[in-house]
Amino acid sequence: MAEIELGNLILHFSQSNKAESKSGKTISWYEEMLNSFISFLASLGMNVLLSEFNINSAREFVINEQERGLSPYTVRGKVRALKAFASWLHREGYTSDNVLFNLKLPKAPINLIEPLTESEVNQLINYQNPLTALGCRNTALLVLLLDTGLRLNELCGLKYEDTHIEEGYLKVLGKGAKQRLVPIGGLTQKVLWRYTLHFRPEPLVNTNSVLFLTLAGETLSANAVKLLLKRWGKNAGVPRLHAHLCRHTFATNFINHDCGDVFRLQQILGHTTLEMVRKYVHYASDQAMINGKYSSPVDLMGLRKLNGYKIDRILKKKSSKVSF
């Protein structure tokens, strides 16, 4: 087993992932991360064999990637891929144990991501003309993202027949080919009705049943939506606009406005665990602390002497004594 080439094992790993119905994007991501490890071993003149796949070489790889200046998130992703590969090797019997079980994920900073403000959303909406086919479609697209938190691929893959506007829900195909029901609000229903009844073109191909189409009736690709949001945000004065920020804005507002508990949010977002939902709770708490009225423990202690300070009078008296 030790003499098997890692490249062949990665191909086997990819085939296994395909058999488990993992998305093409996920499979390609694993291949890219693992092939960078193979390139690292080759650059050191090492044999790219299973025998060289161990915790020591993995740690050297991590240090090398960090010293190359890669972002902590990229390095963390590569370690995740290595650990998933090691677990698979053990399950498939290529190794007697999980050789990377003790490899820890490197720490990555947790940045406070500010959701879109009401003012920014209004800027974006006001930039579009809802009386045109393009403006109506774009408005419906943005409102749907903000009201559901759909991932970009989920939005572009949303079928017309799975958009139950009157009943107030969508049937969404998420990661791992898992379907889930996502509710939509009254305003989203209105803009979707307007788009589907008046401005959605006939599909160029009869088999094309996605909800959002180009003006020519073709599928609106994920890359096209990326470029659309980037250009729209720049022109409307909100250059930070992108699809995942809309997802983050939805989750934060869902929590801040008490639209439901974390388990309901997890179901709507399509997360398999609560780990990511907890991050949204943290972000929402930070946002509430910034925007809400802060109750200071000292303010509530009733320190009367301090409350009696005539600070304006004291400062005025002090400033009058200053000589120039």
Residues catalogued as catalytic: 151, 175, 244, 247, 271, 280
State the burial class of residue 243 (Cβ atoms within 10 Å of its Cβ: 0-12, 13-18, 19+).
buried
260 dihedral zone (left: phi>0; alpha: psi -120 to 50; beta):
left
- What is the DSSP pairing of strand 169-173 with strand 163-164? antiparallel
- How far is it, in rounded angstroms, from Cα 15 to Cα 267? 29
**What is the Cα gyration radius of the chain?**
26
Residue with tokens 């993992």: 22
Q: What are the residues facing 183 on neighbouring strands? A: 169
73 vs 32, 69, 250, 284, CA distance in Å?
Answer: 15, 11, 23, 22
Decide if 187 contacts 143 (C-beta within 8 A): yes
| DSSP secondary structure letters along 206-243 | TT--BSSB-TTS-B--HHHHHHHHHHHHHHHT-TT--H
Amino acid at 144: L
317 vs 94, 309, 313, 320, CA distance in Å?
Answer: 82, 13, 6, 5
CA nearest neighbour of 246 among 145, 314, 106? 145
Decide if 104 contacts 83 (C-beta within 8 A): no
Residue with tokens 């002090």: 318
